[in-house]
Amino acid sequence: MTEIPVLDVRNVHVEFRRRRRAPVFRALDDVSLVIPRGKTVGLVGESGSGKSTLAKAVLGLVPVQSGSVHLLGREITHIGTAERRKLGRVLQAVFQDPNSSLNPSYTVARSLAEPLRAQGTRSRAELAKRSAAMLEDVGLDPAAAARYPRDFSGGQRQRGRWTPDTRSVVFSVSKGVTTVCVLMAVERGLIELDAAVAKYWPEFADNGKETTTVRQLLAHQAGLVAPEADLTADDLRAWHPVVDRLARQAPAWIPGTTFAYHAITFGWLAGEVLRRASGQRPSEWLRDHVAGPLNLAMTYGADLADPDFCPMLEPLPNTEPAEAIDELLAQPMAVRAMSLGGLFDPANMTESANGPDYLTPEIPGANLVANARSLARLYAATVGEVDGIRLLAPDTVSDAAAVRSKGKPFIGPAEGNRWGTGFMLASTRRGMAGPGSFGHDGLGGQLAFAHPETRIAFAYQTARPGGVPDDRAEALCRALRTCL
């Protein structure tokens, strides 16, 4: 007689529609899986391959369009809520983000004790012993049992691997850091913001760009939002093929007459001006004049094997229609600005950011890898001294924080953003610490800035990209502003 398996998944299909008017996405396509009694099965696959969706289908958390799920011989594919609740004693999940399952008013010890009591453990000593063992199993100090969920860092809440030293891609927060490097060169007399780019980079004068200034370039007014030629991973790693093509390219508008966000090209444009004027690329300037002196853990790009590096995790779901994203992705120039001609996926940049094509090159506008503590320390050194080091003078900060670009951009929706000379400024969309704040946000929810009046520096880093809307960083900023 054949033994009935613990779990038998047969030809399961699960489909989603990510956005309004978007095509149906098939997350699971004819998936079957059998787990015999006494066996442990591990599913291995890249991000987005359907591992979590399969688990949710088994648990009844997502609808199954076709196929069936059998637990101990009983079909549970479409059972009701009451029946599924009864299965909790034999079918449970350990969630990747347990913080979402913890009662914020309970200590960790109380939360861990609750299921233990339900299973018959009554002794306080035994409850404490088993709770301590569970915390140690996930790399946490048993003393954490006395803490509340809010007392843990985001990574500790998720899986125990995140520490204050953990670095991750912070996307366009890179632009603010690159701007600091350029402004330091300005202070040293190497660059004039209102001089023509061609003064430092003669080839840039091609195709009507001979009067484009460095400031216009930093204020997203240069008209080089997207490369006209397709770029390869080898082009990005070599640097020169990218900047040479941008130098020859005609602008999409007369520079200085309007603006549009230069999502990735910003870093190469600003970076090549810095290289021509100083002899150092942004990565070298950052290392020698910023990260080294201030002891910061930040680089453009990263080694995937670095133990302090954390790849981007699966994004949180959207809770509202992503209309602004839909509008942006409907415009070919905007798509090309992020895809670079097919190298990256504009609809899933966080997944693209986990690959070597994104992490190996130097992309000063988009692939800084850092931790929040280092970012806050850098911005603190732009508005005051940190260990005797100040990166920018007050007059430089004041000039860079003057509004240069705002309103309806040449492409993309008008979201209320305001730009200075390289920096994103406080706006209706990004309140930061209030008027005068300067810095930059990044895809997925990242944000770093400084506020000169209070000398406050702030940084928020996350490896779990937010859905739409993503209010996490802004909620922290609102709380900060109430304290000022």
Q: Which of 374, 373, 395, 371 is nearest to 383 (CA)?
A: 395
* pLDDT top residue among 256 and 153: 256
Of the candidate ranges 220-234, 264-278, 305-319, the one whose mean pLDDT is the lowest: 305-319
Q: Is 480 exposed, middle or buried (0-12, 13-18, 19+ CB in 10 A)?
A: middle
How confident is residue 381, by pLDDT bands cut at 50, 70 and 90?
very high
Both tokens assigned to 175: 């632009």
69/215 Cα distance (integer angstroms): 61
Q: Which 3 state secondary structure label does DSSP give 148?
A: coil
439/420 Cα distance (integer angstroms): 10
Average pLDDT (207-211) is 97
Helix (H) or strand (E) holding 33: strand 24-35
274/71 Cα distance (integer angstroms): 62
Both tokens assigned to 340: 């670079």
- Element counts in the chain: helices (H) and strands (E): 19, 13
How confident is residue 336, by pLDDT bands cut at 50, 70 and 90?
very high
Q: According to the model, what pLDDT value does residue 89 have?
A: 65
Helix (H) or strand (E) holding 158: helix 154-158
Strands 168-169 and 368-370: antiparallel
Average pLDDT (324-333) is 82
Average pLDDT (376-403) is 98
* pLDDT top residue among 43 and 410: 410
Both tokens assigned to 28: 């699971």
Determine the CATH number of domain 168-483. Answer: 3.40.710.10
Quick check: 2 pLDDT over 80?
Answer: no
Q: According to the model, what pLDDT value does residue 320 have?
A: 74
* Cα separations in angstroms, 66 against 16, 75, 78: 13, 13, 10
Both tokens assigned to 177: 């850091």
Chain position carrying tokens 């949710």: 56
Q: According to the model, what pLDDT value does residue 21 have?
A: 56
* Cα separations in angstroms, 134 against 116, 150, 275, 305, 361: 11, 19, 52, 28, 41
Helix (H) or strand (E) holding 235: helix 233-238
Average pLDDT (436-457) is 97
Position 112, amino acid = L
Both tokens assigned to 479: 């709380």
Both tokens assigned to 62: 């997502």
169/26 Cα distance (integer angstroms): 28
Please give the DSSP secondary-structure letter assigned to residue 286. I
Instruction: Report cis status (omega within 30 of 0) of the bond before 361.
Output: no
% of the chain surpassing 70 pLDDT:
92
Q: According to the model, what pLDDT value does residue 159 have?
A: 45
Helix-helix angle 108-118:124-137, to 10 degrees: 110
Both tokens assigned to 288: 């020698």
pLDDT in tens, 80-132: 877 777 776 677 776 555 555 667 778 888 888 887 887 777 788 888 888 88
Average pLDDT (163-172) is 93
282/184 Cα distance (integer angstroms): 11
Q: According to the model, what pLDDT value does residue 27 have?
A: 79
Quick check: 157 pLDDT over 50?
Answer: no
Q: Are 259 and 410 in contact (CB under 8 A)?
A: yes
Q: Which of 191, 220, 195, 219 is nearest to 205 (CA)?
A: 195
Q: According to the model, what pLDDT value does residue 313 have?
A: 86
76/220 Cα distance (integer angstroms): 55
Q: Is 277 exposed, middle or buried (0-12, 13-18, 19+ CB in 10 A)?
A: buried
The DSSP code sequence of 412-440 is S-----EE-SSSEE--SS--TTSTT-EEE
Q: Are 301 and 360 in contact (CB under 8 A)?
A: yes
What region, left, alpha or beta, does residue 46 occupy, with left being phi > 0 and alpha being psi -120 to 50 degrees?
Answer: beta
CATH 3.40.50.300 at 7-89, yes or no: yes
Chain position carrying tokens 């706006």: 427
CB atoms within 10 A of CB 131: 22
Please give the DSSP secondary-structure letter assigned to residue 167. B
Quick check: 139 pLDDT over 80?
Answer: no
pLDDT in tens, 6-41: 888 899 888 875 555 556 677 788 989 898 988 888
Average pLDDT (254-269) is 98
CB atoms within 10 A of CB 415: 13
User: Mean pLDDT highest for which of 36-45, 132-141, 285-294, 349-358?
Assistant: 285-294
CB atoms within 10 A of CB 376: 21
Mean pLDDT of the chain: 89
Of the candidate ranges 96-110, 288-302, 351-365, 412-426, the one whose mean pLDDT is the lowest: 96-110
Taking the domains of the chain in order of start, what are their residue ranges?
A: 7-89, 98-158, 168-483
Q: According to the model, what pLDDT value does residue 338 have?
A: 94
Q: According to the model, what pLDDT value does residue 19 have?
A: 52
* Entry field: residues in the chain: 484
